[in-house]
Amino acid sequence: MLKDKLKNYNLILASSSPRRQAFFKELDLDFEIRLKPIKEEYPERLRHFEISDYLAQLKSLPFKEELLANDILITSDTIVWHNNKALGKPKDEADAFHILKALSNSTHEVITSVCFTTKNSQKTVNAVTKVTFKALSDEEINFYINKNKPFDKAGAYGIQEWIGQMGVTKIEGSYFNVMGLPIHLVYKMLNDMSQS
């Protein structure tokens, strides 16, 4: 359905995330993957969705000069917001343990920003989902880290994996947002762009 509406556009997904790539396939969209390295750093004054918005926009910068008239570049970033602090991807096993211990028996927010860049415009949307974990034992945390090695995930976990299945007791908002892409927003934005 959306594929037909977008047939005059070239969608470029700038993400190495296998989950985000799978979502685009499931939306039945034709797209190409283009990757450029970028240092994911942001000003310390930024808070909450300002951080993920900034990083999603930052990821579009290396592509700016090469976009053609019918290109739509999609970049995104996910952070976990807990106790007024952004949690990114863990550096190592100890860091992953520390992050999951902090998330245990509490509620955090997962924020994903998605930036849509064309030759002449840029628009960024974001979604916030609240996730509550039960009290996780040290044994459970270590088992998960050893089993799933969640070093490529903000907040050191994937909700679709073992720890999410047994540890998440409540979720408010988009489940897919926690997996790394608020698909409902992506669909709406692309639908709107196809009509403009």
Residue positions annotated with a catalytic role = 77
- Number of C-beta neighbours around residue 163 at 10 A: 24
The three-class DSSP label of residue 2 is helix
Is there a contact between 96 and 156 (Cβ–Cβ < 8 Å)?
yes
| Helix ranges, 34-158 (H) | 49-58, 93-103, 138-148
| Helix ranges, 27-174 (H) | 49-58, 93-103, 138-148, 162-167
Distance of alpha carbon 155 from alpha carbon 171, whole angstroms: 15
Select from 123, 133, 128 the least CA-distant residue to 177: 128
